[in-house]
Amino acid sequence: MRVIAKIGEWFDARLQLAAPIREAVEHPVPKNTASWWYVFGSAALVVFALQFVTGILLALVYVPSAGEAWSSLQALNHDVRLGWFIRALHGWGSNFMVAIVLIHMMQVFLFGAYKFPRELTWIVGVLLLLMTLGMAFTGQVLRFDQDAYWGLGIGASIASRVPLIGDAVVKLMLGGPIIAGATLSRFFALHVFVVPGLLIAFVCVHVLMVLKLGINEWPMPGRIVTRATYLGEYHELTKRDGAPFLPYAAWKDAFFAAGVLLAVAACAVYFGPFGPTGQPDPTIIQTVPKPDYFFLWLYAVLSLLPPSMETPALLIGPVVIILALLLLPFLSGEGEKSWRRRPIAVMTVLLIAVALSTFTRLAEVAPWSPHMNAWSGDPIPQQMLKGTTALERQGALVFQAKQCRNCHALGDSGGERGPALDAVAVRLTQDQLIRQVIQGGGNMPAYGKNLSPAETTALVAFLQRLRPPGQAPAADASRGLVIDDGADRRPAGGR
Amino acid sequence: MSNEAKISRRGLFMKIGILFNGVVATALAVPIVQYVASSISRSRANGYLSWVSLGRAGDFPEGETRLATFRNPFVTPTDGKTADTACWVRRIEGEQFQVFAVNCAHLGCPVRWFPQSGLFMCPCHGGAYYRDGSRASGPPERGLFEYPIKIQNGEITIHAGELPTPGSASAKGTADKQTASLDSRTPCA
């Protein structure tokens, strides 16, 4: 042991780092910050370290070439001993990192930690969030499969909507006219050099400010932050009721970080690596590309926005959101920190959480996407064909053959792009059905050109049968009057 | 004059040294920016587009729409399969053709042709187009991207080479010129 101490002293006499490090880790923090709520920042840092190490390990085998990247991932999954595990660690690490960074941000927001004097810590944190999301997106591109290829196409389509410079932005992003070798090379450079370099630099600044300005004290309702008095009050608090960060608070960080690493490893072992899905061959168009989990909400938003609002929302939305986050500490840099006295802050977090999870859930189901194989894969439920006439059965054939089923469900199977048609005869009269089939409307294409009159007649005859037992079909009141020539029976609903 | 007195010889050299670095950095920045933006400047100077053959016109039956593939005219050694591109070729009749990009005009996902219903459908966000490429429904704001066509010596060639996006030069051709949707027609059955 004495030898080790001697070697340590030899190094420290030259490096002179022991004293500043000891001072940093033992600096006094308010005792009430030794809470499980304060462990997310350090956990994010530890997962980042895991990503750094596993990223280097993957780079030992991965080939950043559009012609070979996919095969090198296959080699990692199947040929290289435990290559699948390192890929899984890196993939699950990225999911955990995004999640922990978001939870950390939410906690900082609810605890008012962005207020004076920690405005810049928050701003750097917002930039770190953007870089983390940037790493998630560029990482998805490096998993160079069908999803990555078409995901880049979506990115290019969004970029091309920028007025005036859209085309130039696309060429710069792709490194050429198409998604190809140059595209993967530059996303590799971004993912491996540019963004991680910036991340490391900004993490250092972020942590340095936490050390210099102190950990945010546990917010007490009624303890108001003012620029004039806060620094003195905080100093007084750490003196009166403080404890050295190590080990008083740091043990919880250590436990949580180890738990998170264990969870990442458990997910990696249990669920395995992500993809790669099909080969990045643009001539294989039988694919349904979907983004990774953390961009699913965006996929949903892009499907649900009215077309006219899409471009403004895509181009202005991110600017507004990022500006709002960056300006937050200047707009409410003082005042109440406790979430108990900040109902709007709590509601905002809840609203964002509910909105994001709703959109994510919707994107998992993707009701707006036609089921491309439903017309040939989902048969018409038998009970809908019982007792039908020849004309109606012919209509059922037309219904399947013309891919109506891709967008309309029957008996809970089929597409959800349009409404389910199990009870369409209750909603629409014969005339309305004909009009809808031929002219389209709402969100339905017009089929007038692709159906002969005989096919339309058969199809509508089949659709008119689709109603639950005991429910009357829709009827046109005025038509009943005309046909019955003013007879006294009520035309609608009475049958 | 008192200010001048404060500038020492070494202080002046330091300032000149910083200025010198600034000049060199600016001079170096010019080729660096040109290098980084080369993919843009190349597109403006020579253009990436050229005429590509899709094969003999006779191979495409009249009244049908078929998938065709071509090798992008601009390739780099590491492109692999990504330089292969697919497109939809519609032979209306005789020498009348339409060639559509597979990329949906909404966000670029690959659309599929369904001959039975005469529709192109996009698997991503549910965009649909009629057989002539005009918009049928869903989020796209326009018809499918259409390549300019020439038929020479019985071969069908298209002017291609860029990923078609709403902002690209190759996307100026649009299928919306024939927006013969039936929306304005009266029901006929």
- pLDDT score of A86 more than 90: yes
Structural domain includes residue A390: yes
pLDDT tens digit sequence for B103-160? 999 889 999 999 888 899 998 888 899 999 999 888 888 899 999 999 988 899 999 9
* Statement to judge: residues A360 and A378 lie in one domain: no
Q: Provide mean pLDDT across the span A101-129.
A: 96
Look at B117 and A450 and tell me if their CB atoms are within 8 Å.
Answer: yes
> Judged by CB atoms within 8 Å, which residues 44-83 of B form the interface with A?
48, 67, 69, 72, 74-83
- pLDDT score of A492 more than 70: no
Mind telling me how many Å the CA of A194 is from chain B's nearest CA? 14
* Statement to judge: residues A358 and A432 lie in one domain: no
- Residue A164: exposure state from Cβ atoms within 10 A (0-12, 13-18, ≥19): exposed
Enter the ipTM: 0.86
| Whether A444 contacts chain B with CB within 8 A | yes
Structural domain includes residue A24: yes
pLDDT at position A294 is: 86
Structural domain includes residue A489: no
pLDDT band for A228, please (50, 70, 90 cuts): very high
* Statement to judge: residues A284 and A419 lie in one domain: no
Distance between CA atoms of residues A345 and A351, nearest Å: 10
Q: How many domains is chain A partitioned into structurally?
A: 2
| Whether B5 contacts chain A with CB within 8 A | no
Look at B139 and A289 and tell me if their CB atoms are within 8 Å.
Answer: no
The Cβ of residue B12 has, within 10 Å, a number of other Cβ atoms equal to 10
Structural domain includes residue A492: no
pLDDT at position A484 is: 59
pLDDT, greater one: A475 or A257:
A257
Look at A440 and B188 and tell me if their CB atoms are within 8 Å.
Answer: no
Distance between CA atoms of residues B37 and A359, nearest Å: 37
* Statement to judge: residues A333 and A215 lie in one domain: yes
Q: 3-class DSSP state for residue B67?
A: strand
Mind telling me how many Å the CA of A385 is from chain B's nearest CA? 22
Look at B140 and A307 and tell me if their CB atoms are within 8 Å.
Answer: yes
| Whether A397 contacts chain B with CB within 8 A | no
The Cβ of residue A437 has, within 10 Å, a number of other Cβ atoms equal to 23
User: With pLDDT > 70 as the criterion, what percentage of chain B qualifies?
Assistant: 85
* Statement to judge: residues A282 and A346 lie in one domain: yes
Contacts of B188 in chain A (CB under 8 A): 438, 448, 453
Least confident of A50-59, A113-122, A432-441, B96-105: A432-441
CA trace torsion A328, A329, A330, A331 (10° rounding): 50
Contacts of A145 in chain B (CB under 8 A): none
pLDDT, greater one: A341 or B167:
A341
Structural domain includes residue A491: no
* Statement to judge: residues A357 and A287 lie in one domain: yes
Mutate which: A283, A301, A302, vs B, most B CBs within 10 A: A283
pLDDT at position A51 is: 97
DSSP-derived secondary structure for B119-161? EEE-TTT--EEETTS-EEESS-SS--BEE-EEEETTEEEEEE-
* Statement to judge: residues A168 and A85 lie in one domain: yes
> What does the mean pLDDT of chain A come to?
91
pLDDT band for B2, please (50, 70, 90 cuts): low
Q: CA end-to-end span of chain A, whole Å?
A: 99
- Domain endpoint, select from A365, A400, A423: A365
Residue whose tokens read 């938003």: A301
- Domain endpoint, select from A331, A347, A365: A365
Find the helix or strand (DSSP H, E) in which B65 lies. Answer: strand B65-71
Structural domain includes residue A490: no
Residue whose tokens read 């509508």: A460
Mind telling me how many Å the CA of A387 is from chain B's nearest CA? 26
Say which CATH number the domain at A324 has.
1.20.810.10
User: Which amino acid makes up residue A229?
Assistant: T
pLDDT at position A172 is: 94
Say which CATH number the domain at A468 has.
1.10.760.10
pLDDT at position A416 is: 87
pLDDT at position A252 is: 94
Residue whose tokens read 């089949």: A462
pLDDT at position A368 is: 85
Q: How far is CA B141 from CA A33, A315, B127, B145, B179, in A?
A: 53, 16, 9, 12, 12
- pLDDT score of B11 more than 60: yes
Which of A207-216, A296-305, B179-188 is modeled with the greatest confidence? A207-216
B109 DSSP assignment: P
B49 neighbors B168 (Cβ within 8 angstroms): no
* Statement to judge: residues A286 and A156 lie in one domain: yes
Mutate which: A171, A173, A365, A432, vs B, most B CBs within 10 A: A171
- pLDDT score of A481 more than 80: no
pLDDT, greater one: A495 or A252:
A252
Contacts of B78 (CB under 8 A, 6+ apart): A65, A66, A67, A68, A180, A181, A182, A184, A185
Residue whose tokens read 């600034």: B22
B38-45 vs A166-174: helix axis angle to the nearest 10?
120
pLDDT at position A480 is: 66
| Whether B30 contacts chain A with CB within 8 A | no
pLDDT at position A369 is: 84
Least confident of A8-22, A293-307, A468-482, B98-112: A468-482
Structural domain includes residue A345: yes
pLDDT tens digit sequence for A154-209? 999 999 989 889 899 999 999 999 999 999 999 999 999 999 999 999 999 999 99
* Statement to judge: residues A244 and A189 lie in one domain: yes
Q: What is the largest CA-CA distance in chain B?
A: 99
Contacts of B36 in chain A (CB under 8 A): 172
Query: Nearest Cα to B120, choosing from B99, B94, B150?
Result: B99
Look at B166 and A447 and tell me if their CB atoms are within 8 Å.
Answer: no
Structural domain includes residue A283: yes
pLDDT at position A258 is: 97
A470 DSSP assignment: T
pLDDT at position B95 is: 87
- pLDDT score of A406 more than 50: yes
Structure tokens at B58: 């006779």
Strand residues in A272-378 grouped as ranges (E): 335-336
- pLDDT score of B33 more than 90: yes
* Statement to judge: residues A136 and A68 lie in one domain: yes
Distance between CA atoms of residues A157 and A432, nearest Å: 38
A381 DSSP assignment: P
pLDDT at position A268 is: 97
B133 neighbors B178 (Cβ within 8 angstroms): yes
Q: Provide mean pLDDT across the span A294-305.
A: 87
| Whether B31 contacts chain A with CB within 8 A | no
- Domain endpoint, select from A335, A365, A395: A365
- Residue A392: exposure state from Cβ atoms within 10 A (0-12, 13-18, ≥19): buried
Look at B126 and A308 and tell me if their CB atoms are within 8 Å.
Answer: no
Mind telling me how many Å the CA of A199 is from chain B's nearest CA? 22
* Statement to judge: residues A469 and A328 lie in one domain: no
B117 neighbors B165 (Cβ within 8 angstroms): no
Q: Provide mean pLDDT across the span B56-63.
A: 92
* Statement to judge: residues A248 and A311 lie in one domain: yes
- Residue A420: exposure state from Cβ atoms within 10 A (0-12, 13-18, ≥19): middle
Q: 3-class DSSP state for residue A286?
A: coil
Q: Provide mean pLDDT across the span A464-479.
A: 84
pLDDT at position A387 is: 85
- CA angle, B109 then B112 then B116, to 5°: 155
- pLDDT score of B182 more than 60: no
Contacts of A369 in chain B (CB under 8 A): 123-126
Contacts made by residues A168-173, CB under 8 angstroms, sequence distance 24+: A168/B40, A170/B163, A170/B165, A170/B167, A170/B168, A171/B39, A171/B40, A171/B43, A172/B36, A172/B37, A172/B39, A172/B40
> Judged by CB atoms within 8 Å, which residues 93-152 of B form the interface with A?
102-103, 106-112, 114, 116-119, 121, 123-126, 128, 130-131, 136-141
| Whether A229 contacts chain B with CB within 8 A | no
- Using CB atoms, which residue from B85, B167, B187 is nearest to A161? B167
Q: How far is CA A413 from CA A410, A416, A466, B3, B78, in A?
A: 6, 9, 15, 86, 44
Contacts of A446 in chain B (CB under 8 A): 130, 136, 181-183
Domain that holds residue A389: 374-483
Mind telling me how many Å the CA of B37 is from chain A's nearest CA? 6
Q: Provide mean pLDDT across the span B27-54.
A: 89
Q: 3-class DSSP state for residue B54?
A: strand
| Phi-psi domain of A473 (left: phi exceeds 0; alpha: psi -120 through 50; beta: other) | beta
Q: Provide mean pLDDT across the span A51-63.
A: 97
pLDDT band for B180, please (50, 70, 90 cuts): very low
Look at B80 and A150 and tell me if their CB atoms are within 8 Å.
Answer: no
Q: Provide mean pLDDT across the span A101-106.
A: 96
Quick one: how far is CA A224 from the chain centroid?
36
Distance between CA atoms of residues A85 and A17, nearest Å: 37
Q: Provide mean pLDDT across the span A300-321.
A: 88
Contacts of A421 (CB under 8 A, 6+ apart): A408, A409, A410, A463, A466
